[in-house]
Amino acid sequence: MKIPVCAPWPVALAGLLLATSLSGCGGVITFQGEKAFSIGGHPAPAPAPTPPVDHAQVSNGKIVIDEKIQFEHDKAGILPVSFPILDAVAKVMKENPQVKKILIEGHASAEGDVTYNLKLSDDRAKSVMNYLEQHGVDKSRLSAKGFGTSQPLADNVSEQGREKNRRVEFTIIDPPAKGAAK
């Protein structure tokens, strides 16, 4: 078989594959001139392992997460995009037995009815608590409460402010943080 030197590599590769399939797999392929050569090379190096992302860590009396917990619109169902974050919270709980109990706090923006927001934030906090329990955190170490709109971090005038107010926080309540009221 003769493959033109000037052939684009896909054509040359197609010719080589055809020759290989006609002559059997692997080994030595004989081309015009009866000169044998082996097909070889080095496999591409394996990509460097990606370091694990620490989505959660203990800091200043809280388990701090690096992203917000995402929920279905106007519901308490946790979106799958947030599972790695909650898995990281569960891991932190398991690796820190000195953290005896946390309060999972649900917070809402001031859009809509105050009573509705209080219930929705409470349902979301309980949904997070159930997820953590289902992923190996002892229920006795967890409590959940919705605060609705009562503890805003930002204004409720702008969308950016409202977005900051829609959140879940993890406060360590046992042992209490130094300087915290008992």
Report the alpha-carbon distance of residue 153 to residue 107 in Å, rounded.
10
Q: For the chain, give every residue range classified as CATH 3.30.1330.60.
A: 56-174
Task: Give 14 or 151, the one with higher predicted confidence.
Answer: 151
Q: What is the pLDDT of residues 15-56, one digit of tens each?
A: 545 444 444 444 555 556 656 555 566 777 777 776 666 899
Report the alpha-carbon distance of residue 14 to residue 17 in Å, rounded.
5
* Chain-centre distance for alpha carbon 97: 23
Q: What is the pLDDT of residues 120-171, one digit of tens each?
A: 999 999 999 999 999 999 999 999 999 999 999 999 999 999 999 999 999 9
56-174 homologous superfamily: OmpA-like domain (3.30.1330.60)
Report the alpha-carbon distance of residue 5 to residue 12 in Å, rounded.
8
